[in-house]
Amino acid sequence: MQELTLVVPGQSASTRIVVGAGALDVLGEVAADAPRIALVTDVNVDSAGWARRATAALEARPGRVAHVCRLPPGEGAKTAASVEALWAAWSAAELGRDGLVVAVGGGVVTDVAGFAAATHLRGVSWVAVPTTLLAMADAAIGGKTGVNTPSGKNLAGAVHHPRAVLADLATLRTLPDATRAEGWAEVVKAAVIGDADLFEALESAAVALRGRDESAAAGVLSRSIRVKAAVVKSDAREASRREILNFGHTVAHALEHASAGRLSHGRAVACGLVAESRLAVDLGRLPAEAPARIAALVHDLGLVRPRAVELPERSAVEASLLADKKRRRGTLRVALPSGWGAHVAAPGLEVDASRLLDAVWSD
C-alpha cells in the first residue's frame, strides 16, 4: 500500500490517502472514534459486494453498526433529491456532528455523499472509498463535492475535504473494461501536466495495466493522485493554478455536450487531451511529438478515441464551445501545460474557438 497526505491549505485538516491492495481494511481504523456511521453506496456497487466488504471492515469493532443507504446507479442520482433523502435517513438514524459518512462507490456516490456530509448539521466528517478508477484518480481527490441541478452539471456544491480516501484496487475487479478505462484519461492528464516520468511509466506498463495488473496500477495511480494533490494543496479554492486540472476538458465538455452524452467523459477527454496538446505544440509549450504520444498511450490503455465519424458536427461543437462558462469576450479559455510534465501558476489563456476546432479535426 502507498500512503500520502493532502494537507488542506488554510485549515488544520488533512486527508489521509491510501492506495493499493488492502486499503479498504484501513476503514475500521479511520472510523475509530465515530459513534455512528452512515454508509452511502449505489445498487451496482452494493451488488458487487463492496458495500458489504466496507461494512465488515467497519463492524469489525464490536458494537459498531453502519447504517446503509443505497442510491440508484449513474449520473441521474446526482441530484438535490438524493441529498435530501440522505439528510432524512441520517436524521432518522440520529447521525450527529460526531458521526461519520462513508461513501463507497464511483464519482457519483462520492460527490453526492460528500455534499450531503458537507451540509448535514452544517458538516460532518466523511471518508471516500472510491470504486472506479475515475473516482480514485479524480473525483474523490480535492474535496469538491456536489450535485447537478436542472440548470446544469455540478451547479450546487461545497468544498468539503474527506478525512481519508481509501483506494483499494481490488474494487475495480467488478468494473467492466470500458468503465475502468474511462479513468485512464485523467491519469494521462496528470502525467502531462505534472509528471513526465509518470508518462513514461504509463507507456512502459500499458500492457500490464490494460491486463489489470493491480500492483502496477497502484504505482501509477498514486503518482497521478500526487499531481492532483499538489495542485489542490497549492490552492484550495478555485483559482488560477487549479485551472490546469481542466487540461483537455474545454474540448471534452464541448464534445460531450454536442454529442448529447453519446460520447463518454473518458473518450471525450482522450480526444480533448490530443487536440489541446496540438494547440500547446503550436504555442511552443509542448514538444512536437506530444500529441502522437498521448494518442498512442490512451489507445494502449484501452480508451478508444472517437473516430471522425463518431464526432458530432463541427458546428454543434462550436456552439457548445462558445456556450462554455469559461468563455470571455468571444474567445475561449483553455489551460495548457507550460512544458512536458509541467505547468505554471497561471496556466489559463484565451484562444480563438476556430483554432481549437481545427485541432480537433486535424487527424
Ligand X SMILES: NC(=O)c1ccc[n+]([C@@H]2O[C@H](COP(=O)([O-])OP(=O)(O)OC[C@H]3O[C@@H](n4cnc5c(N)ncnc54)[C@H](O)[C@@H]3O)[C@@H](O)[C@H]2O)c1
| Footprint of ligand X (CB under 6 A) | 42, 44-45, 48, 50, 73-75, 78, 105-109, 111, 131-132, 134-135, 138-139, 142, 144, 154, 171, 174-175, 179, 182
DSSP state letters, 30-75: HTTT-S-EEEEEEHHHHHTTHHHHHHHHHHTSTT--EEEEEEPSSG
**Closer residue to ligand X (CB): 107 or 291:** 107
Q: Whose grid coordinates read 464541448?
A: 254
State the DSSP string of 297-317: HHHHTT--PPPGGGSPPHHHH
Please say which residue, 136 or 353, places its beta carbon nearer to ligand X: 136
As measured in angstroms, the least distance from the Cβ of 135 to ligand X is 4
Which residue, 2 or 179, has its beta carbon nearer to ligand X?
179
Which residues are catalytic, by number? 122, 144, 186, 228, 238, 242, 246, 249, 253, 265
Min CB(303)–ligand X separation in Å: 13
Nearer to ligand X, 61 or 173 (CB): 173
Compute the distance between CA of residue 256 and CA of residue 259 in angstroms, rounded to an integer.
5
Least separation in angstroms between CB 18 and ligand X: 17
- 100 in helix, strand or coil? strand
Which residue, 36 or 78, has its beta carbon nearer to ligand X? 78
CB 247 to ligand X: min, Å = 13
Q: Distance (Å, rounded) from C-alpha 156 to C-alpha 146?
A: 6
* Residue 49: CB minimum distance to ligand X, A: 9
State the DSSP H helix or E strand holding residue 102, giving kind and residue range, or none if neither: strand 100-105
> 351 phi and psi, to 5 degrees?
-135, 160
> Residue 299 corresponds to which cell in the numbers above?
489507445
Of the candidates 269, 266, 233, 243, the residue with the CA atom closest to the CA atom of residue 343: 243
End-to-end CA separation in angstroms for the chain: 41
How far is residue 356's CA from residue 363's CA, in Å, rounded to a whole number?
13
